[in-house]
Every structure is written in structure tokens, then in C-alpha cells.
A and B are shown apart, each in its own frame.
Chain A
Amino acid sequence: MADALAVTAPEAVVPAALELRDVHKSFGATSIIRGVSLSVPRGERHAIIGPNGAGKSTLFNLVSGRLRPTRGSIRLEGQEIAGKRAFRIARRGLARSFQVTNIFPRLTVYENIRCSVLWSLGYRYDFWRRIDRLRDANERAEHTLEQIHLAGRRDALAGVLTYAEQRALEIGITIAGGARVILLDEPTAGMSRQEAEHTVELIRSLTRDRTLVMVEHDMGVVFGLADRISVLVYGEIIATDVPQRIRANEAVRAAYLGTVDA
């Protein structure tokens, strides 16, 4: 509990990495997100859990610019990003991965990563420089490739990788640009126990000194990785707290955990 206070205390001076205030999203008459407020301080690893259909992926889509919120405010390091297009939000230092693998299948693994580092290194729509001569971009790409343990598959087409390799590449594309806020959407979905543990270690090392928000179903992963957990049920956050207290929370148990922990 003291830890949690220590992490949240500087909020007053430094703006939160991510701050959602009363965010709503409806599709026609159907409300998917119904007034979500959430503050994630810098450097925190925050997990969002909740039953299927609670709106977790929709929430990620709102934050990352894939969808526009119906109303509400989303601030990234103090700056309003609600309703901005995805590439503008990405340029401000927020990167995300996808639940369904979302890579560039006919580019090589290396090219997937190299394309992902370009903008953050200041290369825009350049057609007067040779990409092979951009030392910083190539070094960053090589380094990322080693971090995600895919150096051995450097020149393979991303589309022919195994599922686990593609999931690692998905994370690689997400972190390669050096974003300060990372959203991971079910990074261990569909993985074996061993693969999931491996991925957790990967995430732990890759998100050091960054802010991480993740949606995850695997409670082992969530409780092992998260500093705090938010529980989303039917488009509303019913609790946000440190893992031990979430586990003990009656409302959460009733809505969600009871079935899993039993």
C-alpha cells in the first residue's frame, strides 16, 4: 500500500502518463464504454481486466486513435489526444500492439522493425536518403531484433513466422519506436504456459522505464506483472487498485475473478 502511494504521489507535479476522464463510446444506441476515468502515472505497469465484452479492446482503440470517443477527455502526458488520428497519437509517444497479430506479412522481420523505428528517429516521408545508410535506424532495428530474440529470423518474411514468433514481432513493432507509453492488447493470447512466461519476461525487460497498460486474460500474467489493476465491467471501471486488494475485492470477485480463481 505504501508502494502504491509512493508511485502515485508525484501526480500533482508531473502529469500522468495517461489520464482518461469520463470517456464514453457508443455505437448507435449501444453504449460500449460508459464513463471511464483512469489515471496511469509514469512508469507504472497497469493491467486492465474484465469479462469478455466488457469493452477492454474498445478502450484501447479509443486511447490509440483507432476509434473516436463519443465524449470525454484522454490526455497523454498532459496533452489532449481524444479523437486525434492514430498516427498523430503514435508520434506523441504512444504505441500499441494488437490482440490479433497485426504485422507486415510480406516484409522481412528486419524490415518490419526498421519501418517501425523511422518516425521516432526523425525520418519523415524521405525519398532522398537511402534507408540502408541510416545508421541510427539500422542500429536501433538490429538492437530491437535482439531484444525480441528474432535476430536469427532476420530475413524471413514475417508472414511465415510461427505464431509465437509473430507475437514477439508484434511486441517488437510496438516498442521499436521508443514510445514512452505502451499499450499491449492480450500479449500472451493463445500461448502455451511456457511461451506466456517467456513473453512476460520479454515485456518486463522491454518496458523498463516506460509506462505500460495491458489488457490480459491470463491472471498469472496480470498478477505477476502489474503494479495496479483496473477491472472493467460493462464499460465501467468498478475498481482500480494494487493486485492484492483487487484479489480481495468482493465486487471484483463477484463480477469476474470468482470464476477464474476457484
Chain B
Amino acid sequence: MIARARPAWWLGAAVLLAVLPWVPGLQSDFGRSLLSQMGIAAIFALSYNLLLGQTGLLSFGHAVYFGLGGYVSAHFMRAINAGLPVPIALVPVAGALAGLAFGIAFGALTTRRGGTIFALISLGVGELVHATSLMLPSFFGGEEGVTASRTKAPHPLGLDFGSQLQVYYVIAAWLLVAALLMHAFMRTPVGRLCNAVRDNPERVEFIGYNPQRVRFIVFSIAAAFAGLAGGLHAINYEIVAAEALSATRSGEVLLMVYIGGVHHFMGAILGAAAITWLQVSLSDYTTAWLLYLGLLFMGIVAFVPGGLAGLVTMHLAALRTRALAAIARAYAAALPVALLASAGAITLIEIAYRRSTQPEAGTRMKLFWIPMDTAKPWPWLAAAALLAVGAAALLRLWPRVSRAWASAGEELHGRG
């Protein structure tokens, strides 16, 4: 649901975005680069949720508009490098216009149908554009992609893009603008009709609207915002390659939005931040990070249909109930065994990964500060035992958690 947003809420978001790069831990170039990537992903994910969460359109090719927006922006930046007097901060406008143009062109074909047909056609268009990108090196730059400089440009207001901090602030500003615009879009007549089309496209026809037209409009707008994110991608990396419009990136944004929660506006932002963090940080710790991402996705789809945003709103609601203490106690009891089970599972995954993907690294490794030898049976047995005991205990404790939530639910619904 899209709630009415108060100005105070947006002001708070602006302050948060301004303060984030100064938070300890994020103060480095690495932290600011992470925040920049999160911001780009957030815009991309918000645009995707206009389709998935708001209109019920499952696209497997949304990166097409991100990538094409990125390529056009990179060429635009090259023109600026060659002397075109436009500040770099406005490059995303070119990305958005490119996204819009391609969204209109492809959307006219793909949005005639919803549901499965739409999903399959989006997959086809994605592959088509990806294949084309490798066949037209003059525009797409072949395998190396298109490079451009963000510093060789006019510097209004001292904005020279010399530091990651400046790049971040431009991304943050665009994120705020894009989020405001997309939020406002959902509160217009056609935005509401997107929800109606998601719920029941047939009934929409009988209240006078053509659901195809509604899908086409939201598709074009989502493509424009994806292109805007692509433009920021071009500024941030100073290179755009075929990966930017690949099926991998299309799948990634689906993961972000689903893990974040499709039913809540904030979900896409949460999911984008979480997945970007996993990609950047977790990949430093383990080569199995994609497996963990997959497990997280499966867990969310199976057990938390509301995603991260759903979890947050659920717990915020529980704060107002008397069941809060019971929930906290149940969590406190379940947490140690959940950690135990996770430790067992992680150990199993890590030693299996070490043996199968990096045999050259040898059999000795350290996990949770404990040295172990993957050639010996005891790490396997110990990890399996941890997992089994932890999981069994968790299954026994879980009814307590459910009961606590059930009473919280009763209290909330009883109040109306």
C-alpha cells in the first residue's frame, strides 16, 4: 500500500542520506562507494517495483532500460568530455529520456498482455537487446563497453566529481527526486489504476479503462527511471558494458524487490541496500555468497511473503501491543538455537565449497576462528550435528513464537 507521505518523512530521508557517508564504517571511500551503489540499485529497484509490486507485471528484462540508459549516458558524457557544456550531474536526464524512449518502443509490443505472456516476452526482449549489444560495437563498444570521464566536464558549484563523496551526493539527490516522483505517481489516477490492473485487469475494462494502456504507461515510466539509474551507473563507474543490460542484472533487481518486499514502497529500497551490501561485503568473506543469496531468496519467498519491509512493519505494529514481551521472550529463546543451526549449516557449506571449488587451497581452513581439516571426518560430523540439534530445537521452540505473534495479531485486529 502507498500511504500518504508527509513532508517530514521526506525531510528525514534527506537528512539520513546526507548523514550516511559520515557514519563510522561508511566514512571511507569504500563505504561511500558502497552507498553509491546502493543508491543506484535503490532507484532501479523502485522502478522495477512500479511493475512488479504495483501493477503485477513480472519482468525478466528490466535491465534493458537500465543498460540502454547507461549506454546513452556514457555517450552523452563523451560528448561532454569533447566540449558539450552540460554539467555531469544532469547526465541521468539523458539516461531517463533514453529509458523512456526504449520503454515506449518496446512497451508498445510487450504490454499488450499481462501475466505469463508479458513475463516471457520481457525475457525475449532482454535476450534480443543483449545479443544486439554484442553485434553493434560502434554504439555498445563491444566487450570492453563504453568508457567516459566524469571529471573532464564543466564544474558548476565546484562539483568536479573528484571524490566518491561528491558522486554519492549526486546519486543521493537523484534518489530522493526519483523516489518522490515515483511515490507521487502512485497517488495519481493512473497510479491507482495500476493497482487495480494488478488486482483484476478484467474488471478495469468495465470501469472504463483499457488495462493495456495502463500497463503501457507504467511500463514506460518504469523504463525512464531505470534509465535514470543507468545514467548514475555511468557516472559512478565511468564505464558501461553489456553486463549492465544482461539477464543477470534483470534477475538481480527481481531478487532485490522480492527480498525487500513488493507490497511496500520502502521494500525496494531495503532490498536494494541489502543485496548490494551482500554483493560487496559478503563476497569478501566467502566464495559461496551467491548460494547464501539464493537461500535468503528462497527463505523469503517461502516464509516471509512481505519481505524485509513486511518484517519491519510487522514488528513496528507489534511494538504497540501487549504481546511484545511474549514475542521478545520467544525470540530470546529461539535465537541461540537458530544461531547454532546456522553455524552448522554455514560450516557444512563452507567446507563443501572449499573441497569442491578450491582444491588447490588445501584441506586446512579456519572457520569461526576454529582451525579444521576438511579431509578429516570430524568437521563434517560436528557441523551436521550442530545443524541437526539446532534445527530440532528450533522446531520445538517455534510454536512459542507463533503463539506470541498470534496473540499480537488478535490484539491488533481486535482494535480494528
Q: A residues bordering B, Cβ < 8 Å?
A: 64-66, 85-87, 90-91, 95-96, 98, 102-107, 111, 114-116, 118-120, 123-132, 134, 137, 173-174, 176-177
A129 proximity list for chain B (CB < 8 A): 188-189
Instruction: Let me know if A131 and B191 touch, CB within 8 A.
Output: yes
A87 proximity list for chain B (CB < 8 A): 204-206, 208-210
Stretch at the interface among B122-130, B195-203, B319-327: B195-203
Task: Given A107-B199, A125-B217, decide whether A64 and B188 contact each other with a Cβ distance below 8 A.
Answer: no
B203 proximity list for chain A (CB < 8 A): 98, 102-104, 173
B205 proximity list for chain A (CB < 8 A): 65, 85-87, 90
B214 proximity list for chain A (CB < 8 A): 125
Q: Which residue from chain A places its CB closest to the CB of B207 in the assembled complex? A: A116
Q: Which of A64, A90, A127, A174 contacts B185 (CB 8 A)?
A: A127
**Nearest chain A CB to B210's CB is how many angstroms away?**
5
A128 proximity list for chain B (CB < 8 A): 188
Interface SS of chain B: helix
B387 proximity list for chain A (CB < 8 A): none
Task: Give the complex CA separation of A132 and B2 in angstroms.
Answer: 12
Instruction: Let me know if B207 and A115 touch, CB within 8 A.
Output: yes
Indicate if B4 sits at the interface (CB-CB under 8 A): yes
Indicate if B213 sits at the interface (CB-CB under 8 A): yes
Max count, chain B CB within 10 A of own CB: residue among A85, A87, A132: A87
Instruction: Let me know if A104 and B188 touch, CB within 8 A.
Output: no
Q: Which of A103, A132, A137, A177 contacts B200 (CB 8 A)?
A: A103
Instruction: Let me know if A126 and B208 touch, CB within 8 A.
Output: no
**Nearest chain A CB to B367's CB is how many angstroms away?**
45
Indicate if B349 sits at the interface (CB-CB under 8 A): no
Within B189-243, the residues touching A (CB, 8 Å) are 189-193, 195-196, 198-200, 202-210, 213-214, 217, 221
**Nearest chain B CB to A150's CB is how many angstroms away?**
15
A132 proximity list for chain B (CB < 8 A): 4, 187
Q: Which residue from chain A places its CB closest to the CB of B413 in the assembled complex? A: A160
B-side interface residues, number (CB < 8 Å): 28
Q: Which residue from chain A places its CB closest to the CB of B210 in the assembled complex? A: A87
B189 proximity list for chain A (CB < 8 A): 118, 123-127, 129, 131, 134, 137
Task: Given A86-B206, A103-B203, decide whether A127 and B195 contact each other with a Cβ distance below 8 A.
Answer: no
A95 proximity list for chain B (CB < 8 A): 206-207
A65 proximity list for chain B (CB < 8 A): 205
Task: Given A125-B213, A130-B184, decide whether A105 and B199 contact each other with a Cβ distance below 8 A.
Answer: yes
Task: Give the complex CA separation of A101 and B187 in angstroms.
Answer: 26
B185 proximity list for chain A (CB < 8 A): 127
Q: B residues bordering A, Cβ < 8 Å?
A: 4, 184-185, 187-193, 195-196, 198-200, 202-210, 213-214, 217, 221
Q: Which residue from chain B places its CB closest to the CB of A113 in the assembled complex? A: B207
**Nearest chain B CB to A94's CB is how many angstroms away?**
9
B206 proximity list for chain A (CB < 8 A): 64, 86-87, 90, 95-96, 174
**Nearest chain A CB to B223's CB is how many angstroms away?**
14
Q: Which of B4, B184, B188, B200 contacts A126 (CB 8 A)?
A: B188
Instruction: Let me know if B196 and A104 touch, CB within 8 A.
Output: yes
A107 proximity list for chain B (CB < 8 A): 192, 195-196, 199
Max count, chain B CB within 10 A of own CB: residue among A96, A125, A127: A127
Task: Give the complex CA separation of A98 and B203 in angstroms.
Answer: 9
Task: Give the complex CA separation of A177 and B209 in angstroms.
Answer: 12
Q: Which residue from chain B places its CB closest to the CB of A64 in the assembled complex? A: B206
Max count, chain A CB within 10 A of own CB: residue among B185, B191, B206, B214: B206
Task: Give the complex CA separation of A124 and B184 in angstroms.
Answer: 17
Task: Given A111-B195, A127-B190, A127-B191, decide whether A90 and B200 contact each other with a Cβ distance below 8 A.
Answer: no
Additional A-B contact list (7), CB under 8 Å, known A104-B200, A118-B209, A123-B189 = A90-B205, A107-B192, A107-B196, A111-B195, A118-B192, A125-B209, A127-B191
Q: Which of A64, A90, A126 contacts B190 (CB 8 A)?
A: A126
Task: Give the complex CA separation of A116 and B208 in angstroms.
Answer: 8
**Nearest chain B CB to A93's CB is how many angstroms away?**
10
Task: Give the complex CA separation of A106 and B4 in angstroms.
Answer: 17
B209 proximity list for chain A (CB < 8 A): 87, 118-119, 125
Instruction: Let me know if B192 and A114 touch, CB within 8 A.
Output: yes
**Nearest chain B CB to A83's CB is how many angstroms away?**
14
Task: Give the complex CA separation of A134 and B208 in angstroms.
Answer: 18
Q: Which residue from chain B places its CB closest to the CB of A102 in the assembled complex? A: B203
Task: Give the complex CA separation of A66 and B214 in angstroms.
Answer: 19
15 contacts between A and B (CB under 8 A): A87-B206, A87-B209, A95-B207, A102-B200, A103-B200, A103-B203, A119-B208, A123-B189, A125-B189, A125-B193, A125-B214, A126-B188, A130-B188, A131-B188, A132-B187
Task: Give the complex CA separation of A64 and B198 in angstroms.
Answer: 22
Task: Give the complex CA separation of A66 and B202 in angstroms.
Answer: 9
Task: Given A96-B206, A107-B195, A119-B207, decide whether A125 and B187 contact each other with a Cβ distance below 8 A.
Answer: no
A66 proximity list for chain B (CB < 8 A): 202
**Nearest chain B CB to A37's CB is how many angstroms away?**
25
Instruction: List the 8 shortest-distance A-B pairs measured between CB atoms, nearest first.
Output: A119-B208, A86-B205, A104-B199, A90-B208, A116-B207, A87-B205, A127-B188, A126-B189
Max count, chain B CB within 10 A of own CB: residue among A104, A129, A130, A174: A104
Task: Given A87-B205, A119-B209, decide whether A131 and B187 contact each other with a Cβ distance below 8 A.
Answer: yes
Instruction: Let me know if B217 and A127 touch, CB within 8 A.
Output: yes
Task: Give the complex CA separation of A171 and B333 in angstroms.
Answer: 51
B213 proximity list for chain A (CB < 8 A): 125
A96 proximity list for chain B (CB < 8 A): 206
Q: Which residue from chain B places its CB closest to the CB of A105 in the assembled complex? A: B199
Instruction: Let me know if B199 and A125 touch, CB within 8 A.
Output: no
Task: Give the complex CA separation of A95 and B217 in angstroms.
Answer: 25
Task: Give the complex CA separation of A129 and B192 in angstroms.
Answer: 12
Q: Which of A90, A106, A125 contacts B207 (CB 8 A)?
A: A90
Task: Give the complex CA separation of A245 and B199 in angstroms.
Answer: 44
Task: Give the complex CA separation of A85 and B193 in angstroms.
Answer: 18
**Nearest chain B CB to A148's CB is how many angstroms away?**
15
B187 proximity list for chain A (CB < 8 A): 130-132
Q: Which of B184, B195, B208 contacts A120 (CB 8 A)?
A: B208
Task: Give the complex CA separation of A172 and B210 in angstroms.
Answer: 20
